[in-house]
Structure 1
């Protein structure tokens, strides 16, 4: 099995507990990665329109101009985006789905057991799938092995009054305005979207979700990792 070089974590981490979904975001406020090609903005995990599927959407590089004519030059070939799936509630990844740009395409690997757990990763390239990276005028979605893949610019879906947030932190404002100003309105992020049959993600822990005791829960998080 051919494998890539190791990667070391440099990106922020977005976390989702997937019974339906829960969201956490970084969004340009992590000093170590803000403004870099590894800056995670949002991560979403939810049941697909086909209720036999899960959908994972990882967004990176916020505040991109909406008129961005192409995304091929923006996704970074040295940054691996890795979706980690914990299916037994021990808070360690049991399965990973990896995405990395090569040329004008995004390549995907998994879901499969990681070669190692933690802050370093290798890419096992034995089961490769890909999609051409979309542009504003050329949207591409690939279907293979029951999975669907997309990579390209999309309008930022996250609503947040970032300037008011900073004012609150600085002590110059007492709270958020109603309505607030959406700092990210009209800007783009780079999205990586994967739809996966639930049958490819076995496990999940039942009985711990107070809202749906019979629904298995998975802990899911995303990392951006740079080649070393």
Structure 2
């Protein structure tokens, strides 16, 4: 795996860290939609330990509840990118690569290349966790304090998609706008998620929020990259 190179398939939105942040993308471009490289959500939030940050990246949206036999694609690497200085170029990466019944994690580390192509970080510096099914909860914490999870879980995204389609057609179709409460059209659907909780000391530095709030932040985005 040392020479594995990947190409950008899909990306989540850029986020500034250290508070709860969410980006969802359940409708992808035609080349990505419905594929094993389709990113549905990225979350970054403060851990139960305020000195840690939790990252969640989910792929493969709208998996039926009966689909407990679905699996991560071994040709797709999930990469979390962290920008420490505000130039929107990754300074640290965390990589997740599935092999058989396990997910292998690399980093956080300095990437050897940036942008659309990636090389797996030092393959000897890796940690693995058994991939969980819906009724399993396999986790692992390494000696540096990083905790890991990978597996099938209920889709946390809530969206009244059918009503949204009515609303965008205008007030003659949906005169009352959105329903309150709405209908969660993603209920009883699953996603495959990787979750990593990392001590902030391992993530590199921060920069002042560009809005001048004085809050230290870093940028985060996720990519699913297919082996070439």
Determine if the TM-score, normalized by the shorter chain, exceeds 0.5: yes
Question: Where do 4+ consecutive residues of structure 1 move more than 6 Å?
Answer: none
RMSD of the alignment, in Å? 1.8
Q: Which residue number in structure 2 is paired with residue 38 of structure 1?
A: 37
1:199 aligns to what SS in structure 2? Answer: helix
CA change 1:80–1:207 in 2 (3 A) is closer
Alignment of 1:189 onto 2:186: no
Contact in 2 for aligned 1:12/1:30 (Cα 8 Å): no
Q: Following TM superposition, by how much is the alpha carbon of 1:181 offset from its aligned partner in structure 2, in angstroms?
A: 1.3
Alignment of 1:88 onto 2:85: yes
Q: Which residue number in structure 1 is paired with residue 72 of structure 2?
A: 75
Alignment of 1:224 onto 2:224: yes
Q: Following TM superposition, by how much is the alpha carbon of 1:170 offset from its aligned partner in structure 2, in angstroms?
A: 4.7
> What is the CA–CA distance in structure 2 between the aligned matches of 1:207 and 1:220, rounded to whole Å?
14
Match runs of 1:120-135 below 5 Å: 120-124=117-121, 125-135=123-133
Q: Following TM superposition, by how much is the alpha carbon of 1:113 offset from its aligned partner in structure 2, in angstroms?
A: 0.8
Q: Following TM superposition, by how much is the alpha carbon of 1:91 offset from its aligned partner in structure 2, in angstroms?
A: 0.8
Q: Normalized against structure 2, the TM-score is what?
A: 0.90
1:24 aligns to what SS in structure 2? Answer: strand
140-149 or 200-209: which moved more? 200-209
> What is the CA–CA distance in structure 2 between the aligned matches of 1:178 and 1:91, rounded to whole Å?
38
Contact in 2 for aligned 1:68/1:136 (Cα 8 Å): no
How many residue pairs get aligned? The number is 223
Q: Which residue number in structure 1 is paired with residue 203 of structure 2?
A: 201
